[in-house]
Structure 1
Amino acid sequence: MSIELHTWDTPNGRKISVALEEMGLPYSVKTVNITKGEQHAADFLRISPNNRIPTIVDSDGPEGAPISVFESGAILLYLGEKTGQFLPATLRERVPVLEWLMWQMGGFGPMPGQVHHFRAVEAEADRRYGLERYSNETRRLYRVLDTRLSQVEYVAGALSVADFAILGWAWRHERHQVSLDEFPNVKRWYDALFERPGVQRGFAVKLDDKP
């Protein structure tokens, strides 16, 4: 029995490969080439109604029945519940994990994603406006994260799925036109996570169909 990870080599995809490696779960990768529109295929739509990667299919789901889970945040929570790892059992300890996971899903992902988009826009006026708007917000979010990490080792105190979620996007900081040297607490956290063998394996696993 293993989990099928339907994904592509993106920040959201890397969140899940890192979590699976850190949790020691067996899994296989099913690439979904989003550059070719494979996310719109009918078979994929059945497990991901929003036509977005990643999605997992767990053949050994609750009560032993198969289950599919879409949306990377939901997948991280599911895997944390399934394994009892990186997701605290008590409500008080779980709250900061949920807060910082939602922070990533609602901001530190959508905003840097807009930076990625506007960097590729050809019209100079449109590109300039979009980059200024979303780069400023992205840098604000890095400052929020840096302030938080000046107070704690990991975003929720102990290492959790929230760290994996945020790391997926911090991994692309160069594309955000952000130097981690400007955010020393983020850099300390980032470097520490990449020293973990599970994180290294999660970023090394092939998530595309490129040669």
Structure 2
Amino acid sequence: MGEPVALPAREFPGFQRVVVLDPGHNGGNAANPDIINSPVPDGRGNTKACNTTGTSGNDGYTEHEFTWDVASRVRELLSARGIRVEMTRDSDTGVGPCVDQRAAFANGTGAAAIVSIHADGATGANARGFHVAHSSPPLNDAQGEPSARLAATLRDTLVNSGFTPSTYIGDNGLNPRADLAGLNFAERPAALVECGNMRHPEDAAILESPDGRAGLAVAIAAAITAYLG
């Protein structure tokens, strides 16, 4: 399927509200291990894999399918509110882009907010719930208060929408991290939502349900809208 395609960065000088959605992984990643396992900078002086296949539910429902579906729903909701939405990948059949390429694209739009959408694959009978990450310690001003506020707004809106904060990682639904390249390279406010644990039956019932994904999309779109003010 060839090299991962890095979407060209675009600037919108006359448009004040641009949001970048980053649906995790991609449908062609599993068939191209040499590409997605290639090392790229991680934003803190080390390297990590270009991308990964992502996880899946116990029945085989994949994370890349989930993230594409939810991100597409969020895009539709935000677009209806007059917000310009850009996506870091344009289908669920490609390879990559690498995590550093996704960040470069998002930065190039001058986005008011960057939100990555994922789902987790943790083991453990009681490991369930969502959590929201932002880059910590911050490497620039955008990764400081603006990103922390974006993450907290996402967390609060998801909780108020009836979703359960993580029982196994982070603190009350927030999980600041230094190891996520997309967040480390962010020059605009950025956060990553792990929407739930695909291996937990209660979470899987939400993540694999069209109604559950619609509910997550509504909450994420509402949080982004609230953050933009």
TM-score using structure 2 length: 0.29
Q: From the CA coordinates, give the structure whose radius of gyration is larger.
A: 1
Structure 1 or 2: more strand by fraction: 2
Structure 1 or 2: more helix by fraction: 1
